[in-house]
Amino acid sequence: MSEEVSTSWVILKASLAPTFPQLQESEAGGALTMDLGSDGWMLELTPDGRLLCQYGMALDDVMTLLSDGTPEDLGMDEIAKQAKYYIQPEVSKYRAILLKSGFSEQTQITDDYVAAFFERNIDSTNPIAVQDLMRWCVRTIGVAR
């Protein structure tokens, strides 16, 4: 099964390259990513068949924003809560349309960042449908305002 998936992934990547030359692969066989405009949103395609639109913030950036206070007195949980607070206005702009369009929302918190991401399964054996969904994401989120 994994051989079939990897073959379809290779074919999908090859079909996307001419249409989306800005896609980047950080590690061989790994996810493909690209920026969705200048607001900080990112699109990610994963080899396991998911498309993610995500927006996040590095915890170091939150600490910088809080530097007038005393962020060193805050635990990482409190800093992560602040990051979630900071990203909510941007995430709220697109939440309704993404959920209505079949995406599900999740939040990811690591030691380095907090991100809200909206994911939807894709059929890697149908490059045309994947390209159409990517175009929709670019038009919906990546439009320069």
pTM equals 0.85
Mean of all residue pLDDT scores within the chain:
87
Q: Give the sheet arrangement for strand 104-109, strand by strand.
A: 24-25, 32-35, 42-46, 50-58, 113-121, 104-109
pLDDT tens for 39-94 read 889 999 999 999 999 999 998 888 887 766 565 667 778 888 888 888 999 999 99
pLDDT of residue 72: 63
Structural class in CATH, domain 2-140: alpha beta
Greater confidence (128 vs 66) lies with 128
- The two structure tokens encoding residue 83: 């990051």
Q: Does residue 4 have a pLDDT over 60?
A: no
